Amino acid sequence: MLRPKTLAQYPWVVVRIDCVQCDRRGCYRLARLAARYGPEQSLEGLLADLAHDCPWWRTNPRK
């Protein structure tokens, strides 16, 4: 199975995100994310937007 790159390709109803560095986590409904950011929003871009205030993300966003 290929990794989804956009919200439109994401196969589940709930998007779960967690950080192994700072223990932040969240659950977001896919339909609400697609309505807010658009279905063609990349998952990498979405993560950057949701984690913009995480001090760890600013220092090392690729891990």
Domain ranges of the chain: 7-59
CA distance 36 to 44: 16
Question: What is the rounded average pLDDT for all residues in the chain?
Answer: 89
Say whether pLDDT at 57 is over 80. no
| pTM (2 d.p.) | 0.81
CA distance 51 to 3: 20
Encoded amino acid at 37, one letter: Y
Confidence of residue 58 (pLDDT cuts 50, 70, 90): low
